[in-house]
């Protein structure tokens, strides 16, 4: 089994450090790491380090850093506009997409979203997405922590502008004739992929996205849930772009 990864605000310049706070508690108390075990550290912005546990305290680890590295940001950059879903489906989507390599997730207040993020409820919901990306980043041993855009969510007009400024825009739609497996992809820049909520994308939204330059695409003959469509599409893109 590979060494566990912990996220830190910044990697130390010194040869040793103390891992404390929530990450230290998780490492020492939950995972019960012991002296001599190896851990991975990442700052979420590409910086990485390998370290060895030299002492275990109450919710803390003393670490000696043995190696440092840096992982370049992916290019093209994969941005998924995720229609806000009810229940835990949105968080399930965020978790799976983070593990599959998404670079940014945009919560979208679609016309057919059953749930709307308003006021404190929206702040809390976005906070759960942020926490989910963090835990999934650690699970996947990723050097880059995906961005969760929105304040707390984005409107259709905002998504349209994002598509217009991207190198490539694609909308998952069950009536599309083009397939994501064969459609032309940009070699660099930002790829924006739109995933609708449970009720789907309205004709007006689809029209706005197409006018901004997006192409409707489909994955196959079946219609996937909003919680699984994004990760399935990312798997296709990761393969085609040779990330996998």
pLDDT digits (tens, 9 = 90+) for 10-58: 999 999 999 999 999 999 999 999 999 999 999 999 999 999 999 999 9
3-state secondary structure of 37: coil
pLDDT value, residue 218: 96
DSSP string, 165-232: TSSEEEEE-TT--SBTTTS---SSSEEEEEE--TT---HHHHHHHHHTT-EEEB-SSSPPPHHHHHHH
> Among candidates 191, 180, 171, 177, which has minimal Cα distance to 219?
180
pTM of the model: 0.93
Return residue ranges of the chain for CATH 3.40.1280.10: 77-240
Question: What's domain 5-70's superfamily in CATH?
Answer: Hypothetical PUA domain-like; domain 1 (2.40.240.20)
pLDDT reading at 114 higher than 70: yes
Using alpha carbons, select from 142, 60, 58 the residue that is nearest to residue 101: 142
pLDDT band at 2 (very low <50, low <70, confident <90, very high): confident
Q: Which of 243, 241, 164, 166 lies closest to 210, judged by CA?
A: 164
* Residue range 77-240, CATH number: 3.40.1280.10
| Cα angle for residues 75, 161, 159 (degrees, 5° grid) | 85
């Amino acid at each position: 089994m590979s060494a566990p990864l912990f996220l830190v605000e910044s990697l130390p310049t010194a040869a040793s450090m103390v891992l404390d706070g929530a990450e230290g508690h998780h490492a020492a108390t939950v995972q019960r790491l012991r002296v001599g075990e190896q851990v991975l550290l990442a700052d979420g912005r590409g910086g990485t380090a390998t370290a060895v546990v030299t002492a275990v305290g109450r919710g803390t680890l003393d670490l000696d850093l043995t190696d440092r590295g840096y992982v370049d940001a992916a290019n093209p950059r994969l941005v998924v506009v995720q229609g806000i879903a009810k229940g835990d489906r949105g968080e399930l989507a965020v978790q799976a997409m983070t593990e599959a390599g998404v670079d940014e997730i945009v919560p979208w207040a679609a016309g057919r979203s059953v749930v709307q993020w308003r006021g404190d409820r929206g702040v809390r919901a976005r906070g759960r997405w942020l926490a989910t990306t963090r835990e999934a980043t650690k699970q996947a041993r990723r050097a880059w922590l995906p961005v969760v855009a929105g304040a707390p969510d984005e409107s259709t007009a905002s998504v349209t502008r994002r598509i217009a400024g991207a190198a490539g825009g694609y909308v998952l739609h069950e009536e599309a004739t083009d397939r994501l497996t064969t459609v032309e992809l940009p070699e660099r820049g930002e790829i924006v992929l739109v995933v609708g909520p449970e009720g789907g994308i309205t004709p007006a939204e689809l029209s706005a996205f197409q006018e901004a330059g997006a192409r409707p695409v489909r994955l196959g003959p079946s219609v996937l849930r909003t919680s699984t469509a994004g990760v399935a599409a990312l798997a296709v893109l990761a393969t085609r772009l040779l990330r996998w």
